Amino acid sequence: MANSPFTPGIAAGRLSSEVLDRNFADLHPPLDRHEALVAADRCYFCHDAPCVTACPTTIDIPLFIRQIATGTPEAAARTIFDQNILGGMCARVCPTETLCEEACVREVAESRPVEIGRLQRFATDTMMGRDSHPYERAEKTGKRVAVVGAGPAGLACAHRLAMYGHEVVVFDASPRPGGLNEYGVASYKTVDGFAQAEVEWLLGIGGIKVEQGARISDGLDLDALIKDHDAVFLGIGLAGVNALQIEGVDLQGVDDAVEFIADLRQAGDLSNLAIGRNVVVVGGGMTAIDVAVQSRLLGAETVTIVYRRGRDRMSASRYEQDLATSKGVRIVTNARPVRVVGDGAVQEAEFEYTRDVPNGLDGIGETFRLAADQVFMAIGQKLEDGSGALRIEGGKIKVDESGRTSLNGVWAGGDCATGGDDLTVTAVAEGRDAAEDIHKAIHGGLGTANETPRHGIESG
């Protein structure tokens, strides 16, 4: 493992605590009140706003920005939370440059969009700084729902169901709730323990019980959950890691990028976290970018991302790619790993140049090596075993547009389910929408499916 004292070239304390604090400071510092008013003033408040269409949770962006502009950020936050209860985290981690801000009329006309993400953070931080939770529960329905997974999809689903008066039990495998937000996001995007603070704030609605250390297929039985609850929602993520079948992956210094990011997020003192002098990252997604950038911030001298296709095919946005290069990360494209070389521990990583062909990808026979004492694999994740009788398609749980699975009474959303992009904001939307469908399915004679809870929001 990366922290082994017997792995040459990998060491802790490459940088002082003071430098690490600066390196891992907030990537986008929050706007103050004056800055928020100036930023809001740039919005055209479009009636048929393309930014709303581009938002997976369909937040009324012109409305909340107008509310900020008129000095009512709490009202703006309510507009956001009505659609996205994790709007605070999404304001920090959403790739707004490829979603709402890319669609902004100002971006099209001036190449400088309204700062929607930072404005959203201003509004949500303002409301979350208050003592009271903005939503109250409807009268108790007597219905019980099991939510498996305390990530963005599961938390969004649980909150909406609790708001409707249902009792919710959230089962999660990790020591802390939050899922990707707690364990998988780069530290400089969500500082000061915000992920846990947001979970605690969300749970303030009441009616949600969280049980940690519970995993499907490891003491938690899906059939029993179905029997004991009126509905079950699966937001279990993709906890399995894709394996790379090449020589040398068992050498010391070859590490899983997802696990490393999780360790970094939970580290009390970053100066105790070991990092290589020469780091190579295999992959082209957000995990690859996050582990590469953070390796540099921890003091790695050289960090190289190697991706098997062209840069335009990387799933990480161009903004994130440029962020990596601005931190000194080198990106090498059209190259695939051949083997990892070393005597017990990593010394080099060998790659073969590639080219796209009609049927996929071909190696061209030309190889090169990179000096490495640490190699991170960021080649994607997969669904763990334990899905039982659920229909699986493309390595994910098959769901319909409402999140219903092939099993009666079971819904799913987030990374584990078929659907949209693997983003926090998309997971929130899927959890929210599944909760609406669950509510309608189990509501029975308690009223109409579109009944509005006390201080709640409309169904649909």
Name all domains of the chain by residue range, CATH numbers in brackets: 33-128 (1.10.1060.10), 144-239+382-442 (3.50.50.60), 243-379 (3.50.50.60)
Please tell me the distance from the alpha carbon of residue 237 to that of residue 378, in angstroms, as a whole number: 16
Confidence of residue 453 (pLDDT cuts 50, 70, 90): very low
Which of 261, 277, 270 is closest to 378 using CA atoms? 261
Confidence of residue 438 (pLDDT cuts 50, 70, 90): very high
| Backbone torsions φ then ψ of 372, nearest 5 degrees | -155, 135
Q: What is the mean pLDDT of residues 254-272?
A: 93
Q: What is the mean pLDDT of residues 268-273?
A: 92
Please tell me the distance from the alpha carbon of residue 222 to that of residue 228, in angstroms, as a whole number: 10
Which of 219, 255, 218, 258 is closest to 385 using CA atoms? 218
| Backbone torsions φ then ψ of 282, nearest 5 degrees | -105, 115
Please name every residue paired with 209 in a beta bridge, in sequence order, or none if there are none: 169
Provide the whole-model pTM: 0.91
At 215 the pLDDT is: 82
Give me 3's structure tokens. 């922290």
Q: What is the mean pLDDT of residues 32-44?
A: 97
Place of tokens 């994910």: 396
CA distances from 245 to 54, 253, 286, 377, 440 (A): 38, 16, 22, 12, 46
Q: Is the pLDDT of residue 3 over 50?
A: no
Please tell me the distance from the alpha carbon of residue 282 to that of residue 346, in angstroms, as a whole number: 14
What confidence tens digit (pLDDT) does each residue in 398-424 have?
999 999 999 999 999 999 999 867 789
Q: What is the mean pLDDT of residues 229-256?
A: 89
Place of tokens 């603070």: 197
Place of tokens 């581009």: 54
DSSP letter at 31 equals P
Q: What is the mean pLDDT of residues 49-78?
A: 97
What confidence tens digit (pLDDT) does each residue in 275-327 have?
999 999 999 999 999 999 999 999 999 999 999 999 999 999 999 999 999 99
Q: Is the pLDDT of residue 334 over 80?
A: yes
